[in-house]
Amino acid sequence: MQFYYYQYIVVFLLSFLLARAVFFSVAAPFFLPFWAYMLVHYKKNSAIAFVGGVIGALTLNIGQFIILLMQFSVARLLLHFLFRKVPLVILITAATFIGQAIWQIVYYTELPSTEIMVAILLEVVLTVLFSITIEKCHLIWQQKAWNNWSIEQLTFIGLFIAITIQGAEQLQIGQVNLALVFIQFFICFAAFQSTATTTLVLGSVMGIVNAVSNLAFSTMISVVVVTSIAAIFAKMYGKLGITIVSIIPSLLFFLYDTTLPLDIVYFTSIGLGAFIFYF
C-alpha cells in the first residue's frame, strides 16, 4: 500500500511539471503524451496524472488550462474510437493539433494567423518527439538493465528528465529556482552513483534542453557540461568532493563571462542542489 502511495506522488509531480514545461514561450505539449501512456500502460495512475496536469496548467494561465481540457477531450474521443486502429503517437498528435486549432479559432473568432499556425505546428512536432521519448523510456524501464544503458538510451532518459525539470523553470521560492536545484542535484547524483558517460550525457542533455527551451543563454550549455565534467573528476574524493567541485565551474564562468545570468538566485539554487545531494 505504501509503495502505491509513493507511486501516486511521483506520477502527480511528473504530470504537474510536464504540464508546466513550456518551450519557446509558446508550446506546452508534454503533459498529454504522458497522460496517454499512463492510461494505456498504467491505467490506475491515469486519474492522478490528469489531476496533476490540470493543476500544473492552472498555475501557468487560464488559457493553457482551457487548451489542455480541449486537447484532453479530443484525445479521449480518439482513444475511444481509434485506439486499436491508429498508433498512439498519431492519436495524441492529432488531439494536440485539433485542441489548439479549436481554441485559436474560438479565441480570435477567425482563422489563426501564420504566426499562430507556426506555433501550433511547433507544438505538434514537440508532441511527436516527446511521445517517442516516452515510448523509448517505457521500453528501457521494462528492460530493468539500469547499469547497462547505451548512449541512445541515456539520451532518451536524459531528455525526459530535462523536459520534466523545465516545468520547474518558473517555480521560484525566495532566492531559489527549483529547476536549477534539480539540475545541480542530478549532475552530482549521477557522478556519484553512475559512470562518467552517464553523467556527461545527462548533463549535456539538461544543458541543451534548458538553453533551447528559453531561446537564450546558449553558453549555459557550457556551464552545465563543464560542471558535469568537474563532478566526474571529483568522484574519487567522495560526496564532499563532488559537492564542492561541482560549484567551482560556475564561479569561474561568473568571473570571466559577465554575459551569463549567474546571479544570487543561480548560486543559491545550485548551492542548495549540491547541499541536498550531500545530505
| pLDDT at residue 50, as a whole number | 92
274 CB contacts (<8 Å, ≥6 apart)? 184, 185, 188, 242, 243, 244, 246, 247
Task: Give the whole-angstrom CA distance, residue 49 versus residue 65.
Answer: 15
| pLDDT at residue 218, as a whole number | 61
Per-residue pLDDT of the chain (279 residues; tens, 9 = 90+): 555 678 888 999 999 999 999 887 777 889 999 999 988 888 888 899 999 999 999 998 888 888 889 999 999 888 888 877 888 889 999 999 988 888 888 877 777 777 788 888 888 899 999 999 998 888 877 776 556 777 888 888 889 999 999 988 888 888 898 999 999 999 999 999 888 888 888 888 888 888 877 766 566 788 888 899 999 999 888 899 999 999 999 888 888 877 777 788 889 999 999 999 988
Q: Classify residue 144 as left (phi > 0), alpha (psi -120 to 50) or beta.
A: left
| pLDDT at residue 146, as a whole number | 57
Its pTM stands at: 0.90
Task: Give the whole-angstrom CA distance, residue 248 versus residue 99.
Answer: 46
User: C-alpha grid cell for residue 124?
Assistant: 505538434
Distance of CA 158 to the CA centre of its chain: 9
